[in-house]
Amino acid sequence: MTAPAAEPGHPAAPARAAHPAGASLKGLRALVTGSSSGIGRAILVELAGAGAAVIAHANRSFAEAERLAAEVCRSGGLGAALRADLRRPEECRALAERAFELFGGLDIWVNNAGADILTGPKLELSFEEKLEDLLAVDVRATVLLTRAAGGRMRGAGGGVIINVGWDQAATGMEGESGELFAAAKGAVMSFTKSAALSLAPEVRVNCVAPGWIRTAWGRGASTPWQKRVIDETPLGRWGEPEDVAGTVRWLSSSAARFITGQVILVNGGAVR
């Protein structure tokens, strides 16, 4: 099956070589939180293109998640969409319950959803309000959903959970945003290692830590920021959402069957 076509306003994913042996996801079932746009959308498209049945998740942009699921179905795959506000613990629990019921179980769960404090109206929030948002969505929801999905997967005999961190959480970045994301994503990265131990050997738990990825903020970043990204990245370019998605697909597959408890940097080789 081919990956779903790009929606209007979204760039198509670059062409990829055939999936290597062991990296097919045919017959597997996956959910990606926050998959209506950006990195989450690219991950969902990648998993569907590798053969997985997929569930798109969103809250305020749920219509986009529904459209993406419909595209997967039109491309010959199996897609669905679920809505949940991950700021609310009870909705995290309900999302896990509905998702596992929808396809009769799940094999892959990707905790991609994160609070957007860099663009839109939340840019004007106070430091404390931004911190509260990040802790609720990026940290608490990731912990609750990992436990909810992991427990079900362990009971079923296996599965894969992938969380999303940040490559500078361990090294630091100056400024308000650096402090906020270090606190939130550093927690996610550390939690991943403990969850991997708790859920082994049935469930593998890993984390991808993107560097400078050209999402909504990156596309509108100022000239000094554009220069900084290139200067800090040995591969000399912005990362694309598809770069992260390819890593997630590999970690989800049997090709990574001996990988758990790891934080994989997807950052073009940046060393800070």
Q: CATH code at 38?
A: 3.40.50.720
The C-alpha atoms of residue 111 and residue 90 are separated, in whole angstroms, by 17
Is 208 a member of any domain?
Answer: yes
Q: What was the pLDDT predicted at 234?
A: 95
Is 200 a member of any domain?
Answer: yes
- Proportion of the chain above pLDDT 90, given as a percent: 84
H/E element, 146: helix 142-156
Domain that holds residue 219: 29-266
| Residue at 111: amino acid letter | N
Helix/strand/coil (H/E/C) assignment for every residue in 93-145: HHHHHHHHHHCCCCCEEEECCCCCCCCHHHHHCCHHHHHHHHHHHHHHHHHHH
- Proportion of the chain above pLDDT 70, given as a percent: 92
Is 20 a member of any domain?
Answer: no
The C-alpha atoms of residue 63 and residue 79 are separated, in whole angstroms, by 14
Give, rounded to a whole angstrom, the gap between the first and last alpha carbons of the chain: 40
- Phi and psi torsions of 57, nearest 5°: -125, 145
pLDDT band at 221 (very low <50, low <70, confident <90, very high): confident
pLDDT tens figures, 7-33? 333 333 334 444 454 579 999 999 999
pLDDT tens figures, 48-76? 999 999 999 999 999 999 999 999 999 99
Is 22 a member of any domain?
Answer: no
Is 241 a member of any domain?
Answer: yes
What integer best gives the mean pLDDT of the chain? 91
- Phi and psi torsions of 192, nearest 5°: -55, -45
Is 88 a member of any domain?
Answer: yes
Is 160 a member of any domain?
Answer: yes
- How many domains, the chain? 1
| Region 32-41 average pLDDT | 97
E-strand stretches of the chain? 29-32, 53-58, 79-83, 108-111, 159-164, 203-210, 263-266
pLDDT tens figures, 89-132? 999 999 999 999 999 999 999 999 999 888 877 788 899 999 99
Is 3 a member of any domain?
Answer: no
**Which strand ranges, in their side-by-side order, compose the sheet holding 203-210?**
79-83, 53-58, 29-32, 108-111, 159-164, 203-210, 263-266
